[in-house]
């Protein structure tokens, strides 16, 4: 590939349309494997995220480092990310032990540093009341926006990882968390402290005009990890929803906590698709509802029930297509399937 190192051809973005845990890792792996990207970048958040990557039959997990590193692609931690030295070094060690080239990993000099006292404060103040991941995210962003934070460029340890802030060719941006955890659009204060919407990716240093595809990830049912009054504890009393959680193995990648389950809220999904400008949608885990023969979703604030998965899929497809003009394709995939048959 002949690449002009002074310009970007296009940017693709993969992000979560719900509350995180929508299977972004699988989509990013699929896209990266095609080998067309020169960079894979994270634009926000820190090691509060949990990305699961399947490669050659093995399961890998990262929390901060973008998944490009698994596919030999330079991986950037962007200027609006937050980074804890110890957590970062642990991931570097893990990747080295598993034979991946960690020289591909670069950190923006502008990324802010999560200190031990940020972590301590998060665990003392927010962990219980807001169900945070306890990684120091909120206190670190508070100090950043209070113009009182510490950037990676001023810490010796990060020197050898610093990114030269050049970006070119074909770029993939990897979202963390999801639309409804966004600092502006989520159920505040039960949100994370960063911009989870695709526009946030422009903080990496490109114009919104250069964005090509926006891949939005969702599941055929909703899950929420952490506290949120919109996901009340009473949902746990439903046997059907409990079974979905068990069958779908809905436990947090970062915290190990049980996620609260609800039927897919199509009203919210459509809102997220429209506001984000999503062009391609991947709805995964349809096999979980198929196995349980439970075909429900929420639309116009009412619960709809269907006879089969195909009936439910047709409804989702026609409703989204009629309301979201930017959407090109909607894919449905199963849990085990590593999205191989998509024609993005």
- Residues that are catalytic: 21, 51
The 24-53 contact track toward ligand IMP, x by CB under 6 A, reads ------------------------xxx---
Burial of residue 104 (number of CB atoms within 10 Å: 0-12, 13-18, 19+)? buried
**Residue closest to Mg ion, measured at CB:** 50
131 counts as binding ligand IMP under rule CB under 6 A: yes
Would you call 241 helix, strand, or coil by DSSP?
helix
Least distance in angstroms from the C-beta of 315 to ligand IMP = 27
Q: Are strands 112-113 and 169-174 parallel, antiparallel or unpaired?
A: unpaired
Least distance in angstroms from the C-beta of 58 to Mg ion = 18
The 1-40 contact track toward Mg ion, x by CB under 5 A, reads ----------------------------------------
Least distance in angstroms from the C-beta of 217 to Mg ion = 9
End-to-end CA distance of the chain: 20
Least distance in angstroms from the C-beta of 6 to ligand IMP = 34
Q: What is the rounded CA–CA span in Å between residue 27 and residue 330?
A: 13
Is the Cβ of residue 50 or residue 169 nearer to ligand IMP in the bound state?
A: 50
Q: Of 60, 62, 74, which is closest to residue 103 (Cα–Cα)?
A: 74
Q: 9 and 318 in contact (C-beta within 8 Å)? A: no
Tokens 């490109």 — which residue? 206
Site for Mg ion in 301-340 (CB under 5 A): none
Q: What is the DSSP annotation of 318-330?
A: HHHHHH-TT--EE
Q: Of 46, 333, 39, 40, which is closest to residue 177 (Cα–Cα)?
A: 46
Taking CB within 5 to 8 Å according to partner kind, which of Mg ion, ligand IMP, none is near residue 226? Answer: ligand IMP
Choose which of 23, 45, 46, 50 interacts with Mg ion (CB under 5 A): 50
67 counts as binding ligand IMP under rule CB under 6 A: no
CA angle, corner 57, sides to 53 and 62, nearest 5? 20
Beta-bridged to residue 169, according to DSSP, are 8
Q: What is the rounded CA–CA span in Å between residue 156 and residue 106?
A: 14
132 counts as binding ligand IMP under rule CB under 6 A: yes
Is the Cβ of residue 9 or residue 130 nearer to ligand IMP in the bound state?
A: 130
260 counts as binding ligand IMP under rule CB under 6 A: no
Is the Cβ of residue 8 or residue 26 nearer to ligand IMP in the bound state?
A: 26
Per rule CB under 6 A, count of chain residues that contact ligand IMP: 21
Binding residues vs ligand IMP (CB under 6 A):
19-21, 48-50, 131-133, 135, 137-138, 176-177, 181, 190, 192-193, 225-227
């Amino acid at each position: 590939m002949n690449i002009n190192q002074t310009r970007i051809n296009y940017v693709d973005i993969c992000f979560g349309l719900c509350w995180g845990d929508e299977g972004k890792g699988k989509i990013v792996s699929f896209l990266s494997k095609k080998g067309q990207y020169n960079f894979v970048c994270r634009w926000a958040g820190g090691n509060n995220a949990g990305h699961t990557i399947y490669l050659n039959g093995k399961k890998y997990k990262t929390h901060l480092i973008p998944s490009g590193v698994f596919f030999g692609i330079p991986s950037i931690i962007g200027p609006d990310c937050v980074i804890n030295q110890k957590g970062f070094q642990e991931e570097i060690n893990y990747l080295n032990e598993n034979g991946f080239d960690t020289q591909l990993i670069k950190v923006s000099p502008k990324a802010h540093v999560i200190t031990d006292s940020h972590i301590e404060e998060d665990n003392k103040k927010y962990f219980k009341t807001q169900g945070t991941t306890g990684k120091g995210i909120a206190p670190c962003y508070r100090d950043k926006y209070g113009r009182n934070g510490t950037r990676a460029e001023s810490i010796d340890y990060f020197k050898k990882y610093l990114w030269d802030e050049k970006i070119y060719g074909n770029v993939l941006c990897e979202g963390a968390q999801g639309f409804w955890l966004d600092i502006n659009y989520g159920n505040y204060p039960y949100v994370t402290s960063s911009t989870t919407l695709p526009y946030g990716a422009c903080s990496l240093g490109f114009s919104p005009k250069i964005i090509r595809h926006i891949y939005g990830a969702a599941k055929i049912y909703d899950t929420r990890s952490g506290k949120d009054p919109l996901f009340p504890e009473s949902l746990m009393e439903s046997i059907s929803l409990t079974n979905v959680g068990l069958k779908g193995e809905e436990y947090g990648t970062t915290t190990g906590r049980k996620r609260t389950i609800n039927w897919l809220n199509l009203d919210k999904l459509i809102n997220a698709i429209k506001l984000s400008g999503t062009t391609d949608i991947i709805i995964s885990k349809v096999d979980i509802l198929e196995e349980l023969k439970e075909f429900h979703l929420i639309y116009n604030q009412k619960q709809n029930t269907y006879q089969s998965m195909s009936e439910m899929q047709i409804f989702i497809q026609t409703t989204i297509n009629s309301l979201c003009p930017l959407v090109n394709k909607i894919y449905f995939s199963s849990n085990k399937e590593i999205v191989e048959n998509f024609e993005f």
